């Protein structure tokens, strides 16, 4: 079977090259954040974060002569330590399909290529979900409507709803938590989603006992239960209960406790910022949030990620643009983003389909990164040094071939104070 494996791998790499060069519009952070696998030490990625500057000052007038040097007060640093988390996906093809797929590149693309492309894009979207909402949850459950013993319909709380999280997620599995306690013992499989702001329903199936436990928990604690992709949260949630990274939104909303091994209570200057919208988000309120970052010393370009509905509200607030006298760089029918300057700092306001409706995030356009052992790859680890890297391999457990896509990575920034979360948005 070795010769057939070589043929499949050759065809697979032709498609893989095209996949790597494509830029799907719905994986913003995967595409924008550089992957840094060079600064890991052993199993950890470490970075020294400055939490206090040098402070050994002295002052004197000209008549004081040779003034006495003060006691040195050195800067303080904290060693931020971050570990990557593994994400993998696997697929198979039987011998018959593999033989037919090896006949030509066209046959491969039609038989095996579709599975390969689907798997590659699926894991990119799963990584994107975790980069945004890892350890923070996919959304909270507002209510449930039981269908039968093994099915129920969940409605996602509006402020916790982001359309791209749920689009195309049939057959995905989730787990539910009430704070740190898991609801039921098994996973819930999505059988249908209605990606509509007015509806926001996710139909799930599960064991009868788990469906009953879920319906009961939702009835007793509406708007509080969190959903996570299966495998990302296990046992009783806590420091060791997550099997996924701290996402951007979890980082941006964490202002107390310890994050990336930095004690934010003892080092408040290192903590992220928050802005309470308290209703509809206007352009004026965005400017106020930007001013908070400028006050912290952020002078590089800033990106404001907003839910598409929130972005539409901002688009309708064009009078505010004229009041502030901002230079409109891109604001036209069908515009991708709103760009303006505030106190010489360039700001982009962008609609992001994975941003929950009640939230927003301001972040610098540089300095955020993805760290880990390896970025998303179809090539088997350890094989790329000999050739292009194996993709298909003989599966010893069945009469067929398998491929795996794997990554180990996590979101990280050593400048948490440059992040700002907007909360309490109520869209009109």
Rounded average pLDDT over 146-170:
96
Clarify whether residues 420 and 309 are in a common domain.
yes
Clarify whether residues 15 and 147 are in a common domain.
no
Structure tokens at 420: 């700002």
Which stretches does DSSP call E strand in 28-184? 34-36, 40-41, 44-52, 76-82, 85-94, 139-148, 151-156, 173-178, 181-182
In a domain, residue 54? The reply is no
In a domain, residue 201? The reply is yes
pLDDT at 43: 64
2-21 and 114-133 helices cross at what angle (nearest 10)?
Answer: 50
In a domain, residue 408? The reply is yes
pTM, whole model, 2 decimals?
0.90
Q: Can you give the residue range of the structural domain that contains 157?
A: 139-229
Summarised one tens digit per residue, pLDDT across range 183-196 is: 999 999 999 999 98
Sequence-ordered list of residues with C-beta below 8 angstroms from that of 57, at least 6 positions apart, any chain: 70
Summarised one tens digit per residue, pLDDT across range 229-266 is: 999 999 888 767 899 999 999 999 999 999 998 999 99
pLDDT at 7: 85
In a domain, residue 243? The reply is no
- Given pLDDT bands bounded at 50, 70 and 90, which one contains residue 378? confident
CA 392 to chain CA centroid, Å, is 29
In a domain, residue 72? The reply is no
Residue 3 has pLDDT above 80, yes or no: no
Torsion-angle region of 348 (φ positive above 0: left; ψ -120 to 50: alpha; else: beta): beta
Residue 319 has pLDDT above 60, yes or no: no
pLDDT at 45: 81
Clarify whether residues 108 and 223 are in a common domain.
no
* Mean pLDDT of the residues in the chain: 88
Greater model confidence, 251 or 73: 251
Among the candidates 229, 254, 281, a domain finishes at 229
pLDDT at 1: 45
Greater model confidence, 42 or 183: 183
- Consecutive H or E run containing 131: helix 114-133
In a domain, residue 248? The reply is no
Summarised one tens digit per residue, pLDDT across range 383-417 is: 654 456 778 888 888 899 998 899 999 999 989 99
Give the CATH number for residue 144. 2.40.30
Clarify whether residues 166 and 205 are in a common domain.
yes
Greater model confidence, 325 or 136: 136
d(CA 27, CA 376): 13
Clarify whether residues 158 and 33 are in a common domain.
no
pLDDT at 323: 45
Clarify whether residues 12 and 151 are in a common domain.
no
CB atoms within 10 A of CB 82: 22
Give the CATH number for residue 297. 3.30.2320
CB atoms within 10 A of CB 179: 10
Rounded average pLDDT over 282-296:
94
Residue 317 has pLDDT above 70, yes or no: no
d(CA 308, CA 131): 19
CA 390 to chain CA centroid, Å, is 28
- Given pLDDT bands bounded at 50, 70 and 90, which one contains residue 324? very low
Clarify whether residues 407 and 360 are in a common domain.
no
Yes or no: say if 374 and 331 are a contact pair by the CB < 8 Å rule.
no
Clarify whether residues 271 and 394 are in a common domain.
no
In a domain, residue 260? The reply is no
Residue 382 has pLDDT above 70, yes or no: no
Residue 426 has pLDDT above 70, yes or no: yes
Q: Is 405 exposed, middle or buried (0-12, 13-18, 19+ CB in 10 A)?
A: buried
Which range is least confidently modeled, 97-101, 249-253, 316-320, 404-408?
316-320
Clarify whether residues 302 and 362 are in a common domain.
yes
Clarify whether residues 24 and 114 are in a common domain.
yes
pLDDT at 332: 52
Clarify whether residues 112 and 188 are in a common domain.
no
- Given pLDDT bands bounded at 50, 70 and 90, which one contains residue 212? very high
pLDDT at 328: 53
In a domain, residue 220? The reply is yes
Three-class SS state of 146:
strand
Q: For 68, which DSSP code?
A: P
Clarify whether residues 420 and 277 are in a common domain.
yes
Summarised one tens digit per residue, pLDDT across range 351-364 is: 999 999 999 999 99
pLDDT at 22: 61
Greater model confidence, 102 or 279: 279
pLDDT at 19: 74
Q: Look at the chain and report how many structural domains it folds into.
A: 3
């Amino acid at each position: 079977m070795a010769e057939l494996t070589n043929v499949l791998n050759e065809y697979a790499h032709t498609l893989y090259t095209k996949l790597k060069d494509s830029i799907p519009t719905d994986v913003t952070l995967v595409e924008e954040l550089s992957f840094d696998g060079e600064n890991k030490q052993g199993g950890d990625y470490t970075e020294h974060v400055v939490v206090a500057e040098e402070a050994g000052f002295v002052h004197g007038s000209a008549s004081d002569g040779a003034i006495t040097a003060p006691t040195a007060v050195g800067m303080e640093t904290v060693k931020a330590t971050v570990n990557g988390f593994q994400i993998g996906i696997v697929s198979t093809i039987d011998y018959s399909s593999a033989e037919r797929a090896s006949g030509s590149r066209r046959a491969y693309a039609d038989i095996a290529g579709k599975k390969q492309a689907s798997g590659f894009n699926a894991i990119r979207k799963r990584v994107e979900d975790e980069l945004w909402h890892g350890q923070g949850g996919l959304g909270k459950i507002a209510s449930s409507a039981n269908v039968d013993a093994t099915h129920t319909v969940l409605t996602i709380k509006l402020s916790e709803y982001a359309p791209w999280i749920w689009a195309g997620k049939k057959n995905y599995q989730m787990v539910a938590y009430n704070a740190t306690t898991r609801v039921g013992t098994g996973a819930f499989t999505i059988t249908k989603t209605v990606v509509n702001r007015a509806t926001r329903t996710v139909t799930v199936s599960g064991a009868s006992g788990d469906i009953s436990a879920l319906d009961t928990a939702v009835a007793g604690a509406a708007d509080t239960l969190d959903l996570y992709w299966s495998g990302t949260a296990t046992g009783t949630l806590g420091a060791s209960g997550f099997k996924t990274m701290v996402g951007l939104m979890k980082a941006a909303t964490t202002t107390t406790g310890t994050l990336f091994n930095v004690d934010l209570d003892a080092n408040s200057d290192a903590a992220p910022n928050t802005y309470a919208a308290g209703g509809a988000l206007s352009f004026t309120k965005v400017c106020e949030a930007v001013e908070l970052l400028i006050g912290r010393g952020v002078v590089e370009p800033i990106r404001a990620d907003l839910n598409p509905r929130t972005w539409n509200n901002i688009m309708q607030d064009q009078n505010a643009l004229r009041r502030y006298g901002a230079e409109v760089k891109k604001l036209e029918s069908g515009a991708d983003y709103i760009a303006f300057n505030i106190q010489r700092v360039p700001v982009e306001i962008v609609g992001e389909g994975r941003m929950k409706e009640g939230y927003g995030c301001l972040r610098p356009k540089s300095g955020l990164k993805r760290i880990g052992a390896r970025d998303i790859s179809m090539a088997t680890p350890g094989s790329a040094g000999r050739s292009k890297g194996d993709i298909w391999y003989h599966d010893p457990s069945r009469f067929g071939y398998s491929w795996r896509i794997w990554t180990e990575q996590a979101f990280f920034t050593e400048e948490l104070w440059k992040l700002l979360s907007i909360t309490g948005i109520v869209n009109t």
